[in-house]
Structure 1
Amino acid sequence: MSRTFWNSLPSTSARRRRLHRNLQLESVEARNLMAVLTVDTVVDVVDAEDGATSLREAVIAANAVPVGEDARIVFDASIDGRTIYLSEGELFVQRSVVIDGLSVERGISIDASHSDADPNVAQGDGSRIFLIDDGSAAFRSDVQLLGLTLRGGDSADSGGAIRTAERLTLIQSTLENNHSMATGGAISADCDVACEALVVLDHVEIANNSAHEAGGVFVAGTLSAREVNVHDNVATVGAGGLQATRGAASIQLRDSFIENNHGGSTGGVLATAIGGTATVSVLTSKFTGNVGSNTGGVMAFGAASDVTIDASQFVGNTSTGGGGAIFSNTTGGEAKVVISQSTFADNHGGSGGALFVRGTTSSSDVTISSSTFTANQSLRGGGSIAANTGSGKVRVEHSTIVDSQGSQGGGIWLATEALKMSNSIVAGNTATTGPDLWKGPHAADIQYSLIGNRKDTGLAAAPVDSPSSSGNIVGSAAVPIDPRLGALADNGGPTLTRVPLANSPVVNAGAMSLNDLPRSDQRRFPYVRVSGGRLDMGAIEVQATPAGSSAAAASSVSLKISEVNYNPGAPSPAEVDAGFAADDFEFIELTNISSEAIDLSQVAFVKVPVPVGGVIEDQGVDFEFADGVITELAPGATVLVVENMDAMQLRYGAGLPMAGEWSGQLSNDGELITVASLAPEYEVIAQFRYEKTWFPPTDGGGKTLEVRILAATNLSVSSSWSESSDEGGSPGSVSSEALVYGDSNNDGRFTSADLVLSFGRGKYVVDPEQPDSPSATWIEGDWDMDGYFTSHDLVLAFQRSVYEDT
């Protein structure tokens, strides 16, 4: 999906260069020994005399690796892309291990159908693929599966493909056509009642699996998923797609597609907590065509429920009971739902065509902002939204709720004590009672909103040319008001939206006095919330034609990271007295190395999800230059993004070119830093991972990391950097060395002596993607700092330097 940056996986060339060999010991950063076992046959056999290593033999050997050593299973290039058919039943993993299908170019498939007497019928008479259990209730092993396709599992109990009692991570893998007679058609993760299971999925497809409960994945604890495609899974009860349960059940989903799943309770995603809080978080994901009895898309059920939906889309989901797209329900506690910058279209539900929220406490709040609800349908109340939150509150802000249908409350149905609506559109909906809004006898605070038909709302009519004292435009049954919106379409941003037409009454009808206006409309940046001088009602702002700018768009060629202070030296006594700590002096410097000005308004530092220790960790910092005080960078100029602007001014003096303060904090141990272009498409401009071991004085010793060559293309190697000559570095001024491209002997000139030196080292390669391509240093010809000596280095040297023919 659009805003996705993922560079933690090994590159193709890196995978190719791994050596294929049988069991040996390697040294790793944590100073553990690693047992590496190489599978070189697809035959499922245990035979010590055949001279080959099967996957089953490798798993058995990995289980026997001594405590304190790591275990990794890789695959020989001779079986690249082939299928291992299991004929001897499941593979039993009893310790932490990495099974690495990414060690070969096309991955590895594992098929359990040869262990099934009748593989054409899913009836539990076959075998799953992996059983993962170290036998210890006090310790949880970490198992990682990379680059694998798992299919053909048919288990009589839980886990069609995988059953695990340990922490499980899957990366770049596919689980398809598996079946369980119990829980988890693809994966079932459970352990004793005292523990919470954890499953992490990244770049994983879960397809065409089935189970009695949870057709795709079942986790008794927490499921964290990123860039997953979960489709066409089926369950008799529970979720068709993904399900988490336990005392506190949690599902975290981002950048994913959940499509055409069928379940007993919900088609898509279900979190059900026994005595605790059921939590579901969905970011930039799409739910389409899912079917369930309680909801088609997302269901959270527990003593309390907490649902957050951001920048996501729900289209064509169906239920016969609760909300067509989302159902948040409790057994007597608080139900919290927060929806922002999302679209709900053509969903069908029993109560709430798109959303049904049921809670009983005063803190059972529903907040909907910058979102579109259109063409949803309910059998009962709430064509789009139904909320029964007792003494809780419902807030609708900057949203569009149109063209939906229900028996009562065609747009919104409320059984709650308080409704607060601002800058929104509720129009064109149909119902016998309250065609646009039904709120019963409860209070409502509605401001600067368009209500198409006031019937059963208690509001007085207020025509377009004479809004009410609260700024509302209100139609009647006899004269309903049409907001005049375009059709649902891709108008930019991560979701489909409906843009007001040129003669729409909602254009410039919003209130400028509203507090806490969002910076962008539903479509996110660069679609600003206020354009043309005044706010529009609804989720979308009609954008004024921007004035032309002579500044060029930023690119990976023009905008470079030039200095980083990730672990500053200790503060002085004066700085301590001023209330500052060492971390307050963190900064990152960018430099424009081009000959023209750069427009920074579309540039941002962004956090990147990276798998660390079996969980996904966001690394880096967040900052959008459009929110800062510097949005254009002159040729040769620098700009700083910092932890604390006041601290920086105290230490370095006034006049620093600071754009603003970031959100987050740099890790002292090293992490991934990412600069990206946000529009028209999200694209990485600069990205590198620093390590504290490169230059010890930069790790709390007072020095900073300064780039040696501004045009270097690979900043994730220490040779691209040096420690600053001055304490505290030189923020705001470029101090990179004026090295000459091609100058291998560092004499300040590019001559034939440099070419003789570099070619003499024997590291020149035509194609660095080939297996065992040697890496190179600056002396060995790597002048563009990408790790290799290639023709690109020669072109760079002759273009950027003056060749002196001696």
Structure 2
Amino acid sequence: MRSIEMCPDHRWWIRNSPDFALQVEFMTMHASRTNARRKFQRALLAAFSRARAAAGQALKQYLPGRPRFCIRTNQRRRHDARVFEYLESRHLLAGVTVTAFNDVVNGDMTSIAALVATPGPDGISLREAIIAANETPGLDTINFSGAGSILLENGALELSDSNRTTIEGNGLVTVDAADQSIVFVVNEDATATLSGLTISGGGFQAYPVDSLTSGAGIFNAGTLQVRNSVVTRNTANDNGGGIHNSIDGDLTIVGSEISHNFATNVGGGVNNFGTVTIIDSTITSNSSGDGGGLSSGVAALPPAPGSPPGPDTEIKGDVTIIGSTVSNNSATENAGGIYNVAGVVRIDSSTIADNVAYNPNRLTFPNAGGGVFTTDELIVSNSTIRGNQGDLGGGLTVGFDGNAFVTNTTISSNIWANQSVRLSGAAGGVYVQGGGKLDLVNSTVFGNTGWTLRGGTGGLFNAGEVTLNNTVVAGSVGSFPGVEVRDLTNNGVLLGSNNLVQDGQGTLGLTGTRTGNPFLGPLADNGGPTLTHQPILESPLLNAGNNALAVDSAGQPLQTDQRGSGFVRQSGNVDIGAVELQVVDSLVVTTTEDIVALDGQVSLREAVSRAGASDVITFADELGAATINVTQGRIPLNSGFVIDGEGDITIDAGGNSRVFRVSNSASVELRGLTITGGNSGGNSGGAIWMDHSTGLTIIDSHITGNTASGGGAISQRFSTSGPGLLVINSTISDNTAT
């Protein structure tokens, strides 16, 4: 075989036999692609029969400016098939393996190739590999020879290659700065990926950029991906204990953990002045003054008194959080979890939980936003904000100039933290300051704790402008008996429709408001990526919403509830709240108890009462081979449905009553059941009594151990019009007629 092909480093190889290859340097030519290609093809085909120098000259003369094709000629016996193929331009992928886990610099670092050829006496260190990668054009990959920990002794590791440099630790490598420097610095215009690393020990002597003391673990001014890594136990004197993303920085965090970092000012875990995307990651147990987990943006500074306005100092950040958890972070000022100072923060399919903004010694102004505090644009969807603590809004605070749009979201079990008596208004769930705006759409604000000593608001306190649509605000609690805790307090502008506010207070401005118990289940895993409160079948929230109001922040109709794919917003009217009850689930029996209760469980008696013609009642897999004891009298079967036990379910009346009565001209099918213990009390039909004009089909079942005066198992009142009884592949045995 002979071929000519382009290599990753923009060079071309002519291969005329397995024994030699002629390498020709790439040169840029200014010729039209069509003409150049035609001449190039002719020249190359001729070159195969000429000397190497002639082939090289043909390449230099006719190679187009952007190489996009190669020519391959394949010989098979006497036939010569020539194939012309297009190829994209490629970069050289250079690789180096770190073999020395000490921080030495004594190899040839002029390029990766030079370092591999001439390493120092200790092998190749990570610092040497990075310096060499910075000097090597193209895509670079740095791997490690095995597991180990690298203690930095010579300052931060700086990445400056404009092509991507990937450092792959495979979860086996720790890089520790021992509190002496930043660990990694990604310079402006650099592109890098840090993967499978533990990054720790970034310390107070931080990198002299952006206030000199930001970003102890990682300082990013370029384009950086952090994948499958842990950034932990780093400390910054100013911003971004774990990671600081600068104004021009573009940071992506995927499958990673940012934990146990500290910043004295803002952003204990992550501080952002640029663009950040966080996917499938955890930000936990970080702390700072503001924004314990994450802070984004910088507010404009007002001019000094008597001074003219100066330049705009506002920095707007951009943050997107998807499928992630921000939990157990703390702030001594505002926003234990997320602080959006300026710019936009988007949160989707995520959990903001157990964060705290609290300082018991702070007496001049309360701490705001245990979970999230925004003074600019915030968009939250399909998420849960739970168990957070803060002075004003335990879960969410919308500050002055803040504008939040929240859809398909649960705000639950948040607490107003400070029990002092200095505040006249606070909320465990949501607090909207004067000048702030909030839209709550198809969301659930439930079970939040309000101000504890003089009364207060558990759910939502509004001093700004709030629009509520298809939302439930309920279940507010307090810590002291006899102290009133309201679900909703409105001291601002309140608009919206089709909501439920349990205690009915503060609803002036709303239309179509329901009151009373929403009958929600506990905060639990009801499917999807986040915990939710699911309404039970008897809930007044069902089908009580307005479809036209069920829209996202872009005005598009909501396709799913909070749980996402597989949980559609049903046809007909949507439900109020974050969760749309999937009615089909109500016909799956989940308990063996013979009860009718508003507890979220489905008994056989409840399923029968809900089923209509052609419905099928089944039993949850976790019940296994279960026995349902009938304790509330016979179960009436009044419609043409199917009860399918799949051979696992026994229904036992315990000798206290019949098991079933078929009535109302129903035609019922019982499949895969054992029916026993029926006793008609001196009447006919020990297990099953059939009214006239009814029908019963029994398939793959056993009816045994029942007693009656006539028809120990089954009896039907005389009828000439009903479909009657049909028994298929079943046994009727050991029943008694007295």
TM superposition score category, shorter chain reference: 0.5 to 0.7
Q: How does 1:56-455 map to 2 (within 5 A)?
A: 56-65=127-136, 69-70=137-138, 72=140, 74-75=142-143, 79-87=145-153, 90-91=156-157, 95-96=161-162, 100-102=166-168, 107-113=172-178, 122=179, 126-130=180-184, 140-154=189-203, 156-158=205-207, 182-190=213-221, 197-213=222-238, 214-221=240-247, 222=249, 223-245=251-273, 249-273=274-298, 274-292=313-331, 293-302=333-342, 305-320=343-358, 321-329=367-375, 335-360=376-401, 365-378=403-416, 379=418, 380-388=425-433, 390=435, 393-407=437-451, 408-417=456-465, 419-430=466-477, 435-440=486-491, 442-455=492-505
Residue type at the aligned position of 1:241: G
Distance 1:498 1:101, change over 3 A: same
SS at match of 2:438: strand
Distance 1:383 1:75, change over 3 A: closer
Distance 1:35 1:541, change over 3 A: closer
Distance 1:232 1:422, change over 3 A: same
Gap regions ≥5 residues in structure 2: 1-23, 27-86, 108-117, 299-312, 359-366, 419-424, 552-556, 588-738
Which structure ranks higher in relative contact order (CA pairs < 8 Å, sequence separation ≥ 6)? 1
Aligned partner of 1:507 in structure 2 is: 542
Residue type at the aligned position of 2:470: N
Residues in 2 aligned to 1:352 and 1:219: alpha-carbon distance in whole angstroms: 28
SS at match of 1:495: coil
Residue type at the aligned position of 2:577: G
Aligned partner of 2:691 in structure 1 is: none
Aligned partner of 1:721 in structure 2 is: none
Distance 1:525 1:268, change over 3 A: same
Distance 1:181 1:525, change over 3 A: same
Distance 1:185 1:506, change over 3 A: same
Aligned partner of 2:61 in structure 1 is: none
Residues in 2 aligned to 1:34 and 1:328: alpha-carbon distance in whole angstroms: 43
Distance 1:238 1:276, change over 3 A: closer
Residues in 2 aligned to 1:57 and 1:420: alpha-carbon distance in whole angstroms: 58
Residue type at the aligned position of 1:450: L
Gap regions ≥5 residues in structure 1: 1-24, 114-121, 134-138, 166-179, 191-196, 330-334, 461-469, 475-480, 549-806
Deviations 1:84-133 (A, max 9, x none): 4445555555545766554x8665444455xxxxxxxx4xxx35555555
Q: How far apart are 1:53 and its partner, in Å?
A: 3.6
Q: How does 1:621-640 map to 2 (within 5 A)?
A: none
Contact preservation (8 Å) 1:91, 1:129: yes
Distance 1:188 1:456, change over 3 A: same
Contact preservation (8 Å) 2:459, 2:487: yes
SS at match of 1:295: coil
TM-score by length of 2: 0.54
Residues in 2 aligned to 1:92 and 1:514: alpha-carbon distance in whole angstroms: 51
1:482 to 495, 498, 517: 517
Query: Identical aligned pairs, as a percentage?
Result: 28
Q: How far apart are 1:357 and its partner, in Å?
A: 1.0
Contact preservation (8 Å) 1:71, 1:96: no
Count of matched residue positions in the alignment of Structure 1 and Structure 2: 447
Deviations 1:208-237 (A, max 9, x none): 222223221112224332222112222222
Residues in 2 aligned to 1:51 and 1:298: alpha-carbon distance in whole angstroms: 48
Aligned partner of 1:715 in structure 2 is: none
Residues in 1 aligned to 2:294 and 2:533: alpha-carbon distance in whole angstroms: 27
Residue type at the aligned position of 2:449: Q
Higher mean C-alpha deviation, range 504-513 or range 208-217 = 504-513
Contact preservation (8 Å) 1:433, 1:456: no
Residues in 2 aligned to 1:341 and 1:436: alpha-carbon distance in whole angstroms: 22
| Structure with bigger gyration radius | 2
Contact preservation (8 Å) 1:510, 1:536: yes
Residues in 2 aligned to 1:150 and 1:306: alpha-carbon distance in whole angstroms: 28
Residues in 2 aligned to 1:253 and 1:98: alpha-carbon distance in whole angstroms: 20
